[in-house]
Amino acid sequence: MKKQSFVTTKNGQEVERYTIQSPGGLLASILTYGATLQSLVLPSGRDVVLGHDTMADYERQDKYLGAVVGRVANRIGGGRFTLNGREYVLCQNNGPNHLHGGLAGFDKKVWQAKTEGEMLVLSCQSADGEEGYPGKMEVTVRYWFSEDDTLWMDYTAKSDADTLVNLTNHTYFNLEGHSSGSILGHTLWLDSDAFTENDEFSCPTGRILPVEGTAMDFRRPKPLGQDIDRKEEQIHRGNGYDHNFVLKNPSLTAPFAKAQAGGVTLTVYTTQPGVQLYTGNFLDGAVPGKGGACYEKRCGFCLETQGFPDAIHHANFPSPVLKAGETYHQRTGYCLTEE
Ligand code: GAL
């Protein structure tokens, strides 16, 4: 494992960059800032994830490139929730809703790193009341490669009071290479029969709808661009795909997604009940990407494995409540192969 000093944040905190190598020669570089996956380079030299070269660019961007997102990924309707009879008020940083843990979520923390063999272990703390959430929380994310070149991300969290948690990683993939432009030609297969319906602010209404007969149907592989402009309210509301799909069979051995482009296949596994398919609809090229790349709208896509968005407000969704002293655990693996 290689460790380099990356640079300091504007607050003067030291950020490090760790590079881990898979048995087959893939290289994953991870920053302690946001526990961010900054690059994922295949043996051919192709880097398939979007990222930035400088710390200043990471601090300027608001697209969560490669970052671990929490305390609660995705939206909390109205930016407030009630737990154990008490109301907690969060910031509304996405229309009327709370998004991705707030203004200073886990993506903006400098995590502490240690190594365990070829595994990178990143930890952070979140104070009681931070961003409005109850309970002091300890979070650990472990990154490692398995023998078959799958990059695993394993998340655990514990709180000293009842709270909410939903952790994910916000990597944008472009399998043709991070600076190759549109991902609309990528084909995607998703093992999902249903998705959570969104309101006009991309927050769940609580209804779970079948994908059958809609643009959301990826049960047979199809290009991401095939139905993205269909005149369907859900696609229109998301400005493209920005929806939580209900996974039929969350598993660490049977994949729930396969994406393909340019001779590269991405296969994804998770323990989580849902995945946000997000087609980079709000990428706008505002902050330079690696090597000066310009990441415009739909130049990357995310498969954010997660609990359902806004689950605290919908009794029919799996609960996002983490009880005091209990351990939250999620694991996701991204396997990349080249032809
Ligand atoms: C996604 C979210 C999008 C957008 C994006 C960040 O996870 O669903 O609506 O906010 O993050 O730009």
- Asked if pLDDT for residue 8 goes beyond 90, the answer is no
State which H helix or E strand residue 55 sits in: helix 55-60
| Reported confidence tier of residue 33, pLDDT bands at 50, 70, 90 | very high
Q: Give me ligand 1 centre to Cα 302, in Å.
A: 9
Condensed to tens digits (0 to 9), the pLDDT of residues 137-164 reads: 999 999 999 999 999 999 999 999 999 9
**3-class secondary-structure state, position 19:** strand
Query: Is residue 325 exposed (0-12), middle (13-18) or buried (19+ Cβ within 10 Å)?
Result: exposed
Residue nearest to atom 8 of ligand 1 (CA): 242
The rounded distance, in Å, linking the Cα atoms of 32 and 113 is 7
pLDDT at residue 51 in the model: 98
| Whole-number average pLDDT of the chain | 97
Condensed to tens digits (0 to 9), the pLDDT of residues 213-249 reads: 999 999 999 999 999 999 999 999 999 999 999 999 9
Q: Is the dihedral of CA 45, 46, 51, 56 positive or negative?
A: positive
Rg (the chain; Cα; Å): 19
Check if CATH label 2.70.98.10 holds for domain 2-338. yes
Share above pLDDT 70 across residues of the chain, in percent, rounded to a whole number: 100
Closest ligand 1 atom to 309 CA: 8
Place of tokens 């229309």: 95
**N-to-C CA span, the chain:** 26
Condensed to tens digits (0 to 9), the pLDDT of residues 271-298 reads: 999 999 999 999 999 999 999 999 999 9
The Cβ of residue 284 has, within 10 Å, a number of other Cβ atoms equal to 13
Token pair for 258: 């396969």
pLDDT at residue 258 in the model: 98
What are 150's strand-pairing partners?
Answer: 335
Segments making up each domain of the chain, as ranges: 2-338
Closest ligand 1 atom to 304 CA: 7
Place of tokens 């737990």: 83
pLDDT at residue 10 in the model: 73
| Reported confidence tier of residue 108, pLDDT bands at 50, 70, 90 | very high
Q: Are 302 and 315 in contact (CB under 8 A)?
A: no
| Reported confidence tier of residue 2, pLDDT bands at 50, 70, 90 | confident
Residues whose beta carbon lies within 6 Å of some atom of ligand 1: 63-64, 99, 202, 242, 276, 278, 282, 304
Query: Is residue 339 exposed (0-12), middle (13-18) or buried (19+ Cβ within 10 Å)?
Result: exposed
Q: Is the dihedral of CA 219, 221, 227, 228 positive or negative?
A: positive
Does this model's pTM top 0.85? My answer is yes
